[in-house]
């Protein structure tokens, strides 16, 4: 990075960037906090954007407890089937229905997770002068 007054930050200069709350469209949002100069962190202000050529992956991730929801649904369904439908057949049908309900509950208990690949390019644009110590 070259400044208008001739100051140079070489490639590979450590920059502290942190995650910010996601944008309304769910895209990544970052804040630049500081630049390391001569071993010292210097506060900065600016914006950060992800490079256009970065392949962002998205997947659904469980918040936890999915297995328990399916098992609990099956147990409750089996008991209800036995009581309401009577006999082994009612218990089996109830267990299947309960497991299906537990699976649906588990699926609703997931959230999207977006991932940047290792080495992804981030661009930082300073909005205020970088003042060296």
Rounded Cα–Cα distance for residues 53 and 123 (Å): 12
Domain that holds residue 68: 61-110
Residue 35 is classified by DSSP as: E
Burial class (CB in 10 A: 0-12, 13-18, 19+), 113: exposed
| 37 and 69 belong to one structural domain | no
Number of folded domains in the chain? Answer: 2
**pTM score:** 0.53
Measured at the CA of 72, the angle between CA 70 and CA 78, to 5 degrees, comes to: 100
| 39 and 69 belong to one structural domain | no
| 82 and 99 belong to one structural domain | yes
Task: Work out whether the CA dihedral 35, 36, 37, 43 comes out positive or negative.
Answer: positive
Q: Which residues contact 49 (CB under 8 A, 6 or more apart)?
A: 30, 122, 123, 125
Q: Say what the pLDDT of residue 90 is.
A: 60
pLDDT-flagged residues of the chain (< 50): none
Rounded Cα–Cα distance for residues 14 and 47 (Å): 16
Helix (H) or strand (E) holding 77: helix 66-85
| 122 and 88 belong to one structural domain | no
**Contact in structure between 110 and 60 (CB atoms under 8 Å):** yes
| 72 and 50 belong to one structural domain | no
Rounded Cα–Cα distance for residues 109 and 101 (Å): 13
């Amino acid at each position: 990075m070259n400044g208008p007054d001739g100051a140079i930050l070489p490639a590979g200069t450590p920059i502290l960037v942190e995650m910010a709350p996601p944008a309304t469209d769910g895209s990544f949002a970052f804040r630049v906090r500081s630049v390391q100069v001569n071993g010292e962190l210097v506060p900065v202000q600016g914006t950060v954007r992800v490079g256009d050529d970065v392949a962002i992956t998205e997947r659904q991730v469980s918040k936890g407890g999915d297995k328990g929801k399916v098992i609990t649904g099956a147990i409750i369904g089996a008991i209800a089937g036995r009581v309401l439908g009577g006999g082994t057949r009612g218990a089996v049908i109830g267990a299947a229905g309960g497991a299906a309900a537990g699976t649906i509950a588990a699926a609703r208990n997931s959230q999207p997770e977006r991932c940047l690949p290792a080495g992804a390019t981030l661009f930082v644009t300073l909005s205020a002068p970088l003042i060296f110590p």
